[in-house]
């Protein structure tokens, strides 16, 4: 069909990057803050994730399930601060170190089948080559990073004195990165 292309992102204004909350794991955060020499407290925003399927990957703060998201630009509540607009084009400003979520979006895998997950945000149609191992490797790496993240969530969530505020949570994340634990 004519509207299926291999890389439709190159013709898109970065709609997903501009409109979604870009949730990240602690491995993504470590990669970004080390490469850009940015403080954790400037990079991250608080995102309440009520989805029960995400619960192993959330930090509890004052009885709320908190995920880490990239701090939106300007006054926006969603969207990515690293999206670069050049004329009508949109490009990722940190492409080589972009978060795992960005690497696999908008694909999903069920058992061994990778498919394009149609969403209200992304109307593009991707051609998925079933014999391409690259996307499988990216999804494996993505899952491995989230498994590491889940370990830190468990550590935080089983230590009640740490729970009081999002700022304390960011201290915990920064400390783990500074200590080379991630
Ligand atoms: S994934 Fe979809 S919405 Fe996001 S940049 Fe690519 S085409 Fe655009
Ligand atoms: S890091 Fe790059 S790919 Fe990911 S949301 Fe931001 S601009 Fe888009």
Domain count across the chain? 1
Residue at 178 is within a domain: no
Name the residue of 121, 126, 135 whose CB sits within 8 Å of the most ligand 1 atoms, as the mutation to test its pocket: 121
Instruction: Tabulate helix, strand, coil % of the chain (nearest 5).
Output: 45, 20, 35
Residue at 179 is within a domain: no
Residue whose Cα lies nearest atom 2 of ligand 1: it is 122
Residue at 139 is within a domain: yes
Tell me how far the alpha carbon of residue 138 lies from the centroid of ligand 1, in angstroms: 17
One pLDDT digit (tens) per residue for the chain, 182 residues: 334 455 668 888 899 999 999 999 999 999 999 999 999 999 999 999 999 888 899 999 998 999 999 999 999 999 999 999 888 889 999 999 999 999 998 888 888 888 887 777 888 888 888 778 888 999 999 999 999 999 999 999 997 666 789 999 999 999 999 999 99
pLDDT for 151: 97
pLDDT for 3: 46
Is 103's C-beta closer than 6 angstroms to any atom of ligand 1?
Answer: no
Is 122's C-beta closer than 6 angstroms to any atom of ligand 2?
Answer: no
Residue at 133 is within a domain: yes
Residue at 24 is within a domain: yes
Residue whose Cα lies nearest atom 7 of ligand 1: it is 9
Residue at 180 is within a domain: no
Domain that holds residue 153: 4-172
Ligand sitting nearest the alpha carbon of 21 = 2
pTM > 0.75: yes
DSSP 123-138: --EE---TT-HHHHHH
E strand spans, 4-147: 4-5, 23-24, 44-48, 59-61, 64-70, 83-86, 89-92, 107-110, 113-116, 125-126
Tell me how far the alpha carbon of residue 158 lies from the centroid of ligand 2, in angstroms: 32
């Amino acid at each position: 069909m004519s509207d299926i292309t291999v890389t439709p992102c190159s013709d898109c204004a970065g709609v997903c990057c501009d409109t979604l909350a870009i949730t990240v794991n602690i491995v993504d955060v470590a990669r970004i803050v080390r490469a850009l020499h940015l403080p954790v407290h400037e990079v991250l925003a608080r995102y309440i994730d009520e989805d029960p399927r995400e619960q192993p990957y959330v930090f509890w703060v004052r009885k709320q399930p908190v995920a880490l998201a990239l701090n939106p630009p300007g006054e926006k509540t969603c969207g990515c601060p690293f999206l670069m607009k050049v004329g009508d084009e949109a490009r990722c400003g940190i492409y080589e170190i972009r978060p795992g979520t960005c690497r696999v979006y908008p694909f999903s895998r069920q058992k061994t089948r990778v498919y394009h997950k149609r969403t209200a945000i992304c109307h593009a149609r991707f051609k998925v080559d079933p014999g391409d191992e690259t996307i499988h490797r990216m999804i494996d790496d993505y899952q491995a990073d989230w498994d590491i993240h889940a370990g830190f969530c468990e550590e935080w969530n089983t230590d009640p004195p740490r729970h009081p505020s999002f700022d304390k949570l960011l201290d915990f994340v920064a400390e783990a990165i500074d200590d080379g634990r991630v």
